[in-house]
Amino acid sequence: MAPSTSQRGWPQSFPNPAYERRHDLNKDLFQEAATRFRQGKAPLADRMRPVTLDEFVGQEHILGRGRLLRRAVEADRITSIILFGPPGTGKTTLARIIANHTASTFVTLNAVLSGVKDIREQVAAARDRLDLHRQRTILFVDEVHRFNKAQQDALLPHVENGTVVFIGATTENPYFEVNKALVSRSRIFELKSLTEDDLDAVIDHVLNSERGYGKWKVDLAAEARRHLVSTANGDARSLLNAIELAIETTDPDESGTVIVDLRVAEESIQRRAVLYDKEGDAHFDTISAFIKSMRGSDVDAALYWLAMMVYAGEDPRFIFRRMIIFASEDIGLADPRAIQVAMACAQAFEYVGMPEGQFHLAECCIYLTSAPKSNSAFAFFDALKHVTDEQSGEVPNPLKDGSRDKKGLGHGEGYLYPHAYHNHYVPQQYLPDEMQGTYFYQPSDVGYEKTISERIAYWRSRDEKESVEKRARRYGADTPDPAGESD
């Protein structure tokens, strides 16, 4: 049976070359028009995205003239890399610039939206390009720290054998959040928050570029500029969004000039952008800075890091838990009231809540930071190490419970009751025989512990008179922090 024909005589089951050419041309024209429309309506941050290294602002430590990464991009010799840094510092932009400079095929995936199937499809396409056209493929993965194990396992062998060149972008420390095998096969480049000079350069570019507001008459007041730069906190995207909102929503005056004063700037960027993810690096880095500032007795620094956490929405109970731990770990018996103050403030916060509970956070922080310091409670971990590593000794007979078998076994015989002696103290052996003379606790000479030190010295003088050996050898003086404490 012959195939049916169209009005122009072409069999419908066969292609019409002229029709297809016209169809493709119309399709390209529509796509070009749609692209221009989208670009015209695109947010300022997207329109102003740099397309060359010379337009890129900041990151001179990795992209300055002669730097390794810049040389690699310019020579189109990029190997697998991971770009790590806060939001708004240019990680995705840098990846797009690499795409503009390379002769390789550049494809992108998002670790959240893409599954193992997507990765395998891109790897298969990359293998075909390499085999058939000798063309490399650069695979850019945004938010790579969100890759699960299955996604990482699907990609890793192909990074390793060179099927794809991997570029990852992440706001989290890749050494903790990204597959170690993937990290070991990549160069890590850390992007830093932009400086105020960098952000000033961004504003100048926006006001003078045709992609920005170069064709507009804009009067940006000096105090408004300072506020925008300061409040953006190193985040170019936040700054651009605020500028766009300020200019686009302000009516021009009689001369057609859009005046952006301090009031408009404050309305456009009402809250400083603070990098703080409760599960990410900023969370752990900030609480670490807070603890170390308290330990270093710097009240102002401790209050600053506390304010940073509260402003970012950290759970106050988490902060109180850390301060309660600090009261015993870093102050201890140098000021026994520290733990009482910490507990009282935590309890008061539960009764009052926010926002007034900020007073209790501040009071606890100031008290602990300004209190005398001692970490002598770590003596417990020396004792624990002895129990863990050394052979356990027998309880001395006088210390055994004599209420059950004193008559039969003589347990408890010879025990000296301290309250029956001068100053409620009597020299006698409390440690197992083989440990006699060993000690763990060494009080400091700071705060209340100075009184404890004097008391122990008095007891020791009594021991020596009775020839009872005590505190002759300190155990575990060089024992490292048992919990691997890093704060």
Q: What is the mean pLDDT of each run of 10 residues along the chain (487 residues)?
A: 47 49 52 55 87 91 92 91 90 89 88 88 92 90 87 88 91 84 90 92 93 92 90 88 93 92 87 61 87 95 93 88 96 95 95 91 97 92 86 83 69 86 87 83 89 88 78 60 46
Residue 337: the pLDDT is 95
Q: What CATH number has the domain spanning 281-373?
A: 1.20.272.10
Q: Which amino acid is at 420?
A: A
The DSSP bridge partners found for residue 168 are 82, 141
Topology, domain 59-190 = Rossmann fold (3.40.50)
| pLDDT in the model for residue 14 | 46
Q: What residue ranges do the domains of the chain occupy? A: 1-39, 59-190, 196-268, 281-373, 380-474
Six token digits for residue 311 = 């402003």
Class of domain 380-474: mainly alpha
Fold for the domain defined by 196-268: Helicase, Ruva Protein; domain 3 (1.10.8)
Cα distance between the two ends of the chain: 84
Q: How far is CA 224 from CA 88, 95, 199, 241, 479, in A?
A: 20, 32, 13, 15, 56
pLDDT given at position 343? 97
Predicted confidence at residue 191, as pLDDT, reads 93
Question: Is residue 47 within 8 Å of 202, Cβ to Cβ?
Answer: no
pLDDT of the residue at 11: 46
What is the DSSP annotation of 344-360?
HHHHHHHHH-TTTTHHH
Give this prediction's pTM.
0.57
**How far apart are alpha carbons 119 and 137 in whole angstroms?**
13
> What is the pLDDT at residue 167?
93
The pLDDT value given to residue 480: 42
